[in-house]
Amino acid sequence: MSSSSSRSRRLGVGNGVLPPARDRSPSLNKDFDLAFKNKVVTVDGVKVKMQIWDTAGQERFRSVTHAYYRDAQALLLLYDITNRMSFDSIRAWLSEIKEYAQEDVVIMLLGNKADVSSERVIRTEDGESLAREYRVPFMETSAKTGMNVELAFRAIAKELKQRAVEQLEEPKFQIHDYIESQKKKPSCCAFL
């Protein structure tokens, strides 16, 4: 397949997205706690360019998130596994997404900070249950160690590529099956 390009916008929302400003890389805007980054993921020879907007779930960015929901093709919805309030706000975020986003937007639920399981407040089973309820893929991640972060990006990129290409002879990509098969590989998700 020739190398072509597909563009998408993504927005990370929720209350477990960014580390505190003091722990961030200098490229992030510390004054506003709003991060923007481009990421290109190659999937089966197709480059999927992602624009990632991260508001860290802050209330002052609500008007921004509403505007970006409309154009977003995929949304990563994160909560902090060490923070009950973060998890409890997921239903409100999902309601907003339903109200403002496109009907076919790809949503993935991520429980972040899996590297600090000793401080865990939210059980993995609770995240899995919520994801099943809303019929979205789920996994736990660690922004600190990188656990499952690339898998989340690859899974979203594969889903977006499949939707863009829409070739009848290719079997439909199943994001849930892909995540599960990748999590079973020994090198996939181990802590660094």
- pLDDT, tens digit, for every residue of 142-181? 999 999 999 999 999 888 888 877 654 566 677 878 888 8
Whether 24 maps to a domain, the answer reads yes
Domain-located, residue 151: yes
pLDDT of residue 72: 83
Query: What is the number of domains present in the chain?
Result: 1
Q: What is the pLDDT of residue 8?
A: 41
Amino acid at residue number 115? D
Higher pLDDT, 68 or 82: 82
Tokens 């079997």 — which residue? 171
Better-scored residue on pLDDT, 82 or 190: 82
Give the model's pLDDT for residue 62: 58
pLDDT at position 122 over 90: yes
**pLDDT of res. 30:** 43
| 36 within a domain of the structure (yes/no) | yes
* pTM (global) more than 0.85: no
Does residue 188 lie within any of the structural domains?
Answer: no
Domain with 113 in it: 5-183
- Is residue 192 assigned to a domain? no
CA distances from 33 to 1, 28, 131, 141, 171 (A): 40, 7, 27, 20, 41
In sequence order, what are the beta bridge partners of 138? 109
Distance, CA of 19 to CA of 109 (rounded, Å) = 18
pLDDT score for 87: 95
Order across the sheet with 74-80: list the strands.
35-43, 46-54, 5-14, 74-80, 106-112, 138-140
Quick one: pLDDT at residue 35? 64
Tokens of 140: 């736990």
Alpha helices in 1-122 (DSSP H): 62-71, 84-88, 90-100
Position 25 pLDDT exceeds 90 = no
Instruction: State the pLDDT at residue 125.
Output: 98
The answer as to whether 190 is a domain residue is no
- 3-class secondary structure, 9: strand
Confidence of residue 24 (pLDDT cuts 50, 70, 90): very low
CB 64 within 8 A of CB 34: yes
pLDDT bin (cut points 50, 70, 90) of residue 3 is very low
Where residue 156 sits, what CATH number does that domain have?
3.40.50.300
